[in-house]
């Protein structure tokens, strides 16, 4: 495991060495196969936070008979909370919502609203006089 380039690669290598498919490992760990696949692609966002990710890594390590401490050290080095922005950690843990991206007001919309206001003002002036 010391020659692998990432935690995801280490998990994939250990699973293949154990002769297990994603579905086999999923059944034994009660972790969705799609989530294990994401882990093997070094993507831990779907875990629901670092606490859950660590728990899943421990569970996977137990089934694959790997050193959980070494895998968790890799996780901390690559994905630990010190390496990520606090907002990203809050979003990942479902404590905060991702920032909403608003589309800027287009010129067409601005011209349309301006013309509508001028029309209403003009009609109002004619009616009142």
- Separation of alpha carbons 107 and 60, rounded Å: 54
Q: Number of helices (H) and strands (E) in the chain: give both, helices first.
A: 7, 0
- Separation of alpha carbons 26 and 125, rounded Å: 72
What is the reported pLDDT for 82?
64
Out of 3.50.7.10, 1.10.260.40, 3.90.1640.10, 3.90.76.10, the CATH code matching 7-92 is: 1.10.260.40
pLDDT digits (tens, 9 = 90+) for 8-32: 999 999 999 999 999 999 999 999 9
Phi, psi of 29 (to 5 degrees): -105, -10
The domain limits of the chain are: 7-92
pLDDT digits (tens, 9 = 90+) for 71-104: 999 998 887 766 666 666 676 666 556 667 778 8
Q: What is the dihedral of CA 56, 57, 58, 63, to 10 degrees?
A: 90
Average pLDDT over residues 99-119: 85
């Amino acid at each position: 495991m010391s020659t692998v380039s990432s935690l995801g690669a280490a998990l994939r290598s250990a699973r293949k060495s154990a002769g297990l498919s994603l579905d086999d490992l999923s059944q034994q760990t009660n972790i969705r196969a799609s989530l294990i696949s994401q882990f093997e692609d070094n993507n831990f966002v779907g875990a629901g936070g670092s606490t859950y990710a660590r728990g899943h890594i421990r569970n996977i390590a137990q089934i694959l008979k790997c050193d959980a401490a070494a895998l968790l050290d890799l996780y901390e080095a690559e994905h630990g909370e010190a390496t990520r922005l606090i907002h990203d950690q809050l979003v990942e843990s479902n404590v905060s919502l991702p920032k909403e991206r608003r589309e800027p007001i287009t010129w067409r919309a601005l011209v349309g609203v301006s013309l509508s206001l001028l029309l209403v003002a003009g009609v109002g002036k004619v009616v009142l006089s």
